[in-house]
Amino acid sequence: MLLPKFEYHEPTTLEEALHLLSELGGNAKVLAGGTDLLVRMKLNIDKPTHVISIARIPGLDAIVPRDKHGVTVGAGVSAAALSRHELMMDRFTPLALAAGRLGAPMIRNRATIGGNLVNGRPAADLSPACMVLNAKVKLKSATAEKEVSVNEFFRGPGDTAIEPNELMVSINVETPAPWSGGSYIKLGARKTLEISMVNVAALLTLKSADGPIADARIAFGAVAPTPVRAYGAEEFLVGKEPSDEVFQQAGEIGVGLCSPITDHRGTMEYRCMMIEVLTKRALKQALERAKSWKP
């Protein structure tokens, strides 16, 4: 498996990287962990004439808490770092759990959150997790900067809102309200190295430890051309007392919002059944964590 020829750039500042991107645009590809790009280049799917590594730009690999209000995750933070980070596990649970399920240990050591989101794969692990956290991605070009909600970032398989001259710099997440708990469930045929057949992220916020549901967020991966939020199921849950029955009903509503396909990983019917079951299970796990929320 040989890599085709390309010109290599290794900017050491953000400005330099943005300048290169604005100059080279469509002929260039950003290289983060390379676990997707290098595979696609070896398979001749991507054929950039320039490759811009962002690994030596300081700060892109940092997880920076913002007081108690939220966290800024650099686009170059690895899945391994996300999965091991105490604050991420504690407050941003779906993302830490999803990062721990991405690929195998060696892949997690290289794979970045930025690469995972920019890839825009329907089955990507970090996308649904970022969606239930209402994360915003910061996109920068040499001349402009914008923030886009991940809920509006994905357009189709491999297609996202980022422009060729833009770099994803960071992912910003607000800390979920008190009495929140999150979960992430990935279903594949094997335990590791598995692109999901169905994945579900959930975040549940209660009014108090035994209170009704104040807020619910559910997102699915691998069930439609993009990862999707199950807004209908979320609205159904708000204001209700949490119970197996309402979680079951939320799962049933969730199935109706998906358009899964049949492929070698699983049939449409099987995926629909799994969406229902896994939604219920994810909500139950989120509820347990919400009940044991600590200031």
Partner 1 sequence: MKSIIQLVVNGESVEIAVEPNRTLLQLLREDLGLTGTKHGCGLGDCGACTVILDGSPVNACLVLAVQARGRQVLTIEGLAENGNLHPIQKAFVDKGAIQCGFCTPGMILSAKALLDTNPKPSETEIRTAISGNLCRCTGYQKIVEAVQEAAEVIQSTEVS
Point out which span in 38-46, 123-131, 216-224, 271-279 binds partner 1 (CB under 8 A): 38-46
Distance CA 141, CA 144 (A): 5
**Best CA proximity match to 289, nearest among 227, 171, 206:** 206
Please, what is the minimum distance in Å from the beta carbon of residue 272 to ligand FAD? 22
**Residue closest to ligand FAD when measured from CB atoms:** 115
Distance CA 21, CA 15 (A): 10
Q: Is 118 one of the binding residues for ligand FAD (CB under 6 A)?
A: yes
Q: Is 60 one of the binding residues for partner 1 (CB under 8 A)?
A: no
Q: Is 191 one of the binding residues for partner 1 (CB under 8 A)?
A: yes
Q: Is 89 one of the binding residues for partner 1 (CB under 8 A)?
A: no
CB neighbours (10 Å) of residue 190?
6
Cα distances (angstroms) measured from residue 246 to each of 60, 104, 196, 240: 41, 35, 26, 8
Q: Which residue from 65, 103, 178, 211 is in contact with ligand FAD, where contact means CB under 6 A?
A: 103
Please, what is the minimum distance in Å from the beta carbon of residue 212 to ligand FAD? 34
Please, what is the minimum distance in Å from the beta carbon of residue 276 to partner 1? 28
Point out which span in 142-150, 189-197, 210-218, 270-278 binds partner 1 (CB under 8 A): 189-197
Question: With CB cut-offs between 5 and 8 Å by kind, which of partner 1, ligand FAD, none does residue 276 bind?
Answer: none
Distance CA 175, CA 69 (A): 5
Three-class SS string for 156-211?
Answer: ECCEECCCCCCEEEEEEEECCCCCEEEEEEEECCCCCCCCCCEEEEEEEEECCCCC
What are the residues binding partner 1 (CB under 8 A)?
1-8, 10, 31, 34-35, 38-39, 42-43, 51, 53, 55, 80, 103-107, 109-110, 191-193
